[in-house]
Amino acid sequence: MADRAFGILDRLIGEIDKAIKVLASPARSNRALPGAAGGELVLEPADALESGRLMRVNHSGEVAAQALYQGQALTARQPAVAAAMRRAAAEEMDHLAWCEQRLRELNGRTSLLNPLWYAGSFAIGALAGALGDRASLGFIAETEKQVEAHLRGHLERLPAADHRSRAIVDQMTHDEVAHGAQAESLGANELPFLLRSAMRLTSRVMTGGSYWL
């Protein structure tokens, strides 16, 4: 039997299904949650609240990462680049699951704005992919640099007693560095200064919105 050729409608349905799974289904990780379970310190209410807000921001960032990678994979021109995008999305799913679990432990919640972040990031990713694989990879490399800086900032802001959240963010930081290096090794182009600045501004809007909502 010949393989079925998937049309635009099939691919659209597939992307809707992926979005529903990210936004409405519990994420599952292939790796254990960083930080030893049990024995962690009981946080003061103010510290638990701050940790919950910061981990909510990180969770929203992972929602956006899923959408970004899926959008870029959809419009990638080379199969190898599309496959790399999907592998990165699968690895980022660990981050999504870790943030969800930590939010539950902190009695926190995910951002009400996640559907907006997903839709916007998917559109940006699809546009980046349509501009060509080297430009798309450059977008990933720059995104990961900015995410790395963002996560290191959270390591400074997380309460010192919250070892579990800090372990999660530390592992996420290492993974993001690896994703950026992979994009560069595949031939990423450096993005123009104005575009990099626009990305930083967009990131501030997302992190500020997710921190409070």
Integer Cα distance of 8 and 140 in angstroms: 25
Q: Angle at Cα 209 formed by Cα 204 and Cα 213, nearest 5°?
A: 160
Q: Return the domain boundaries, the chain.
A: 43-212
pLDDT at 2: 47
**Any idea which residue has 């994009």 for tokens?**
183
Mean pLDDT by 10 residues, the chain (213 residues): 56 76 84 73 90 96 89 83 80 91 94 94 86 85 89 94 94 90 84 82 90 93
Residue 181 is encoded by which pair of tokens? 């290096």
Q: Does domain 43-212 fall into CATH 3.30.565.10?
A: no
Q: What is the residue whose two structure tokens read 């010949």? A: 2
Neighbours of 86 (CB within 10 A): 15
Q: Write down the residue that tokens 């930081």 correspond to.
A: 173
